[in-house]
Amino acid sequence: MSSENKQILTTDGIPLEVSLKKAEKKNKIKAFLLVAPLLLFIIITYVFPIGDMLMRSVDDKMVTEMLPKTYKSMEKWDGKELPPEEVFKAFYTDFQKLIEEEKEGKLSTQLNYTKNGFKSIIKKLRRKSKSFEEGNYKEQIMAVHRRWADVEYWRAIKRRAPAYTYQKYLKGMDMYENEKGKIVNVPEDRRVHRILWLRTLEIAFFVTVFCFLMAYPIAHLLATLPMKYSNLLMICVLLPFWTSLLVRTASWMILLQQQGIVNDFFVMIGLVSDDNRLEMMFNKTGSYVAMTQILLPFMVLPLYSVMKTISPSLMRAGKSLGGTPFVAFWKVYFPLTIPGIGAGCLLVFILAIGYYITPALVGGASGTLISNQIAFHMKSTLDWSFASAMGLMLLSGVLVIYWLYNKLVGIDNIKLG
């Protein structure tokens, strides 16, 4: 064949193409081996644990494993009326075993998540079951408390039968599966999470807007001033950037308190009277002000790095072609800064949506965000599976933005300082 005749050979007599491919492959492996340690480290200590969170958030084996006989006997029960004697008997057997292992407290906590009111009746059952006689467990259990004779509670137990559940996700959106298996909203007065999600989005959105409005002019000034001045002013942006988050939050706590300097100033200029000082801390205002100042550098830096590359002659050209400075700015300069705006806004929004420390310290009850709720469930209620579910809901939102960011800006274009 003619193509074979034309094939170029290396000095060893191997076709050049093969030899090149071999070298290429070697280089690929070399490059990959360099990345491998970090990649493995991150996957094992970080990516897998996030997967573990996912498992935890849907895992519902606990109750299933605590009441194995009950669930077996419940298979035939249609849930319309009170279950037959065999279910009660199986429940009694399971329950006795749990008392032996001292696990009945866990059961009551778990069942209480599904339906309120289990805690007390399980306690009572534990006390009374010591004197139970053999046979006719249905009557005996029902006699302990009238709720044990309520079919709703038995349906609640049955609902915990599957080993996996999406209940925690529903709970995170203030919804639940009712007795008939329909997904419905919880009563209005008990909706807490939806308010928090909306507030988180609202605060993140407005903080991003405020940051943009404040960062744009100063980034422009920094990019157009001569080097010796702009370097000096850059310190004003970089010093807060490098300063501890807690230090900056502390300074806002001092400034915004009722006897603080901001209030002093307002009193001095007569904006408010001395006995009527504004409450700016432990509410939304506190979260807004502190978060805007803390996240501002993250908006200034990407804007600055984009504006720095825009040649000033473009604006001059725009003006010389008859545009007023405003027209030249709007039609020429502004469109060129859009990549920087996108980068800055996405970065600030991502950071704001997951903020925890600052809202917890200056936000009070009305300024806390979804992160605070996650921390609350991790530390106080110890409902880790719910915390995981909320965390993953937040994460999926962030990942969408991260993906967008990657599409628009490119993840390797992130610049620091």
Partner 1 sequence: MALPKYTEPHYRIWHYVYLTICSAVFFFLIAPLFVIFPLSFNAEEFLVFSDGMKRLDPDAFSLRWYQDMIYGTKNPWGLAAKNSFIIAIFATIGSVLLGTVAALGLSSRHMPYKGLIMAVLISPMIVPLIISGVAIFFFMAKVGLAATHTGIVLAHIILGTPFVVITVTATLSGFDHSVTRAAASLGSNPVNTFMKITLPLILPGVISGGLFAFVTSFDEVVVVLFLAGLENTTIPVQMWTGLREQLSPTILAVATCLIILSTLILVTAELLRRRSERLRGINR
- Work out whether 235 is an interface residue with partner 1 (CB under 8 A): yes
Near partner 1 in 375-404, by CB under 8 A: 375, 378, 384, 387-388, 391-392, 394-395, 398, 402
* Angle CA 138–139–143, to nearest 5: 115
Provide, rounded to whole angstroms, the least separation between the CB of residue 36 and partner 1: 8
Please say which residue, 236 or 317, places its beta carbon nearer to partner 1: 236
Question: Are the beta carbons of 133 and 178 closer than 8 angstroms?
Answer: no
Provide, rounded to whole angstroms, the least separation between the CB of residue 177 and partner 1: 25
- Work out whether 250 is an interface residue with partner 1 (CB under 8 A): yes
Residue 291 makes CB contacts below 8 A (sequence gap 6+) with 203, 207, 352, 355, 358, 359
- Work out whether 39 is an interface residue with partner 1 (CB under 8 A): yes
- Work out whether 412 is an interface residue with partner 1 (CB under 8 A): yes
Residue 334 makes CB contacts below 8 A (sequence gap 6+) with none
- Work out whether 186 is an interface residue with partner 1 (CB under 8 A): no
Q: CA 14 to CA 2: how far, in whole Å?
A: 18
- Work out whether 285 is an interface residue with partner 1 (CB under 8 A): no
Name the token pair of 56.
């935890």
- Work out whether 123 is an interface residue with partner 1 (CB under 8 A): no
- Work out whether 238 is an interface residue with partner 1 (CB under 8 A): yes
- Name the one range near partner 1 by CB under 8 A: 24-32, 87-95, 146-154, 267-275: 24-32
- E-strand spans in 97-209? 175-177, 183-185
Q: CA 369 to CA 366: how far, in whole Å?
A: 9
Near partner 1 in 152-181, by CB under 8 A: none
- Work out whether 248 is an interface residue with partner 1 (CB under 8 A): yes
- Work out whether 33 is an interface residue with partner 1 (CB under 8 A): yes
Near partner 1 in 326-355, by CB under 8 A: 350, 353-355
Question: Are the beta carbons of 193 and 171 closer than 8 angstroms?
Answer: yes
Closest by CA to 359, choosing from 205, 203, 191, is 203
Near partner 1 in 256-275, by CB under 8 A: 257, 259-261
Binding mask 211-230 for partner 1 (x = CB under 8 A): ---xx-xx--x--xx-x---
Residue from 6, 30, 80, 228 in contact with partner 1 (CB under 8 A):
30
Near partner 1 in 297-326, by CB under 8 A: 297, 308, 325
Provide, rounded to whole angstroms, the least separation between the CB of residue 310 and partner 1: 13
Q: CA 237 to CA 248: how far, in whole Å?
A: 13
Question: What's the alpha-carbon Rg for the chain, to the nearest Å?
Answer: 32
Phi/psi of residue 367, each to 5°?
Answer: -115, 10
Residue from 244, 273, 313, 380 in contact with partner 1 (CB under 8 A):
244
- Return the SS3 of 67: coil
